[in-house]
Amino acid sequence: MRATVDRAGLDSQGRASKVQIRRVKKGDLSRIRDVIEQTFADFLERQLGTRPRQAFGGAQYVHHRWLMEPWGCFVAEEDNAKIVGTALAVNWGSVGLMGPVAVLTNYQNQTIGQQLIRAVEEFFEENKVALHGTVTYPTSPKHLLLYHRFGYRPKDLTAVMTRVLDRMPAPRPAVNAPALKPPLRQPGVTVRKFSSLEEAKKKATLQRLHRITNAVCRGLDLAKEIEIVDGLALGDTLLLERGKDLLGFAVYHAPGVSEAPAGALYVKYLAIDPQQKKVEHLEHFVGALEELAQEAGLARVILPVYTKYHAAYSTLVRLGYQIEFTMVRMQRGKQEDYEDPTHLVLDDWR
């Protein structure tokens, strides 16, 4: 007898099954994590020829994103019993970001992915986000066409960049890059952790940070991201200051239950105030993040950068960061192409 348990669309008696899209409940979280891990491991195995032990090197996406944006998280459930797909989304103010989206390999190409994306699109519309965004695999016709159906356009590449830290904060090895220099440090510029602020000061600081992101993209707001990182101690938000001036900020994750893979400090978002956009400030900031990683005993720093932010991208290359992999940014809606190549911004839409 032919086994049907593994065949999507049919139950063990050969009857057609029913897949429904619904919002995520707390009890779903670990199963969603498994679905994402398994699906991406299958996908990467097909791409790379070997199966990664962990699809994201220990990075986690589900629990904190659901806490941050419960209305933006969906599952596809078969016969009210088995989760076979998921799509998560968060709103950074006016910018809605979708991902990860995953459908178990045996359930793919049966429109489940499209139903999940439609649910996210409705969530974006309900919240009146101006710009819908995601990143995907630039070499996959399936992915590009899937998002095209929903009006997304492929844009530039996002480069996820890494630097392996020297054991001691010593000058960098000159291999491949004779002109490599450590990040410049600026007199009078200091860093401070958001978590160290008194509770009463945090709200006012979030408003100041919103002024920076609003100057990068109208309505962009990272407050929820900063608050969840603070509340769950996923990492912290580093404030770059000169006296009373706030020059910029960086939301970073440290390994554990965050988006940082094992052994790495991972920056989710960094912006230098566009009114203070000196490359030296970015260099100083990168140096401070590397120091922080070193103090925490971490071996690497991961800095994702959208290559359209050319000044930021070039700075990372100059500082010895190497491209680990690339994805393509997909956008739809108002404020498409808001990114200014001179802005010193690092952001990751995964």
Ligand X SMILES: CC(C)(COP(=O)(O)OP(=O)(O)OC[C@H]1O[C@@H](n2cnc3c(N)ncnc32)[C@H](O)[C@@H]1OP(=O)(O)O)[C@@H](O)C(=O)NCCC(=O)NCCS
Residues in the site for ligand X, rule: CB under 6 A? 39-40, 43, 99, 101-103, 108-114, 136, 141-143, 145-146
Nearer residue to ligand X within complex by CB, 49 or 187: 49
Least separation in angstroms between CB 29 and ligand X: 18
Least separation in angstroms between CB 106 and ligand X: 10
Nearer residue to ligand X within complex by CB, 132 or 143: 143
Least separation in angstroms between CB 330 and ligand X: 8
Least separation in angstroms between CB 110 and ligand X: 5
Nearer residue to ligand X within complex by CB, 102 or 129: 102
Q: Are 96 and 288 in contact (CB under 8 A)?
A: no
Q: What angle do CA 283, 287, 288 make, to 5 degrees?
A: 115
Residue 67 makes CB contacts below 8 A (sequence gap 6+) with 228, 232
Nearer residue to ligand X within complex by CB, 111 or 275: 111
DSSP of 141-205: HHHHHHHHHTT-EEEEEEEEEEEEPPSSS-PPP-TT-TT--PPP--TTEEEEEGGGS-HHHHHHH
* Nearest CA-CA partner of 245 in 275, 218, 220, 201: 275
What is the rounded distance in angstroms from the CA atom of residue 149 to the CA atom of residue 145?
A: 6
Least separation in angstroms between CB 265 and ligand X: 24
Nearer residue to ligand X within complex by CB, 138 or 274: 138
Which residue number places its CB atom closest to ligand X? 113
Q: Is 202 exposed, middle or buried (0-12, 13-18, 19+ CB in 10 A)?
A: middle
Nearer residue to ligand X within complex by CB, 150 or 279: 150
Nearer residue to ligand X within complex by CB, 12 or 111: 111
Coil, strand or helix: which one is 91?
Answer: strand
Least separation in angstroms between CB 1 and ligand X: 28
Least separation in angstroms between CB 46 and ligand X: 9
Least separation in angstroms between CB 237 and ligand X: 27
Q: Are 284 and 186 in contact (CB under 8 A)?
A: yes
DSSP 5: T
Q: Are 228 and 239 in contact (CB under 8 A)?
A: no
Nearer residue to ligand X within complex by CB, 143 or 284: 143
CA-to-CA dists, residue 206 to 138, 171, 225, 227, 249, angstroms = 35, 36, 11, 9, 11
Q: Are 112 and 103 in contact (CB under 8 A)?
A: yes
The single-letter code of the amino acid at 349 is: W
Nearer residue to ligand X within complex by CB, 109 or 322: 109
Least separation in angstroms between CB 276 and ligand X: 34
Coil, strand or helix: which one is 9?
Answer: coil
What is the rounded distance in angstroms from the CA atom of residue 274 to the CA atom of residue 252?
A: 20
For residue 194, how many C-alpha atoms fall within 13 Å in the half-sphere facing its CB?
Answer: 29
